[in-house]
Amino acid sequence: KYLLVFDFDETIINENSDESIVRAAPGQALPEHIRQTFREGFYNEYMQRVLAYMGDQGVKMGDFKTVYENIPLSPGMPDLFQFLSKNHELFEIILISDANMFGIESNLRAAGFYSLFRKIFSNPSSFDKRGYLTLGPYHSHKCLDCPANMCKRKILTEYLAERAQEEVEFERVFYVGDGANDFCPSMTLTSADVAFPRKGYPMHRMTQEMEKKQPGAFQATVVPWESAVEVTHYLQEILKK
| Per-residue pLDDT tens digits for 121-133 | 999 999 999 999 9
Catalytic residues: 7, 9
Domains located in the chain, CATH noted: 2-13+73-240 (3.40.50.1000), 18-69 (no CATH)
Alpha helices in the chain (DSSP H): 17-20, 32-35, 43-56, 61-69, 77-86, 101-111, 152-165, 180-186, 202-213, 229-240
71 near 13, Cβ under 8 Å? yes
This prediction's pTM: 0.96
63 near 51, Cβ under 8 Å? no
Rounded to 5 degrees, what are φ and ψ at 214? -135, 80
Question: DSSP assignment, residue 72?
Answer: P
Which residues are bridge partners to 144 per DSSP?
none
Question: How do residues 97-145 score in pLDDT, each as one tens digit?
Answer: 999 999 999 999 999 999 999 999 999 999 999 999 999 999 999 999 9
Binding site for Mg(2+), by residue number, is 7, 9, 178
Q: Which of 52-56, 112-116, 181-185, 214-218 has the lowest mean pLDDT?
A: 214-218
Binding site for substrate, by residue number, is 18, 98
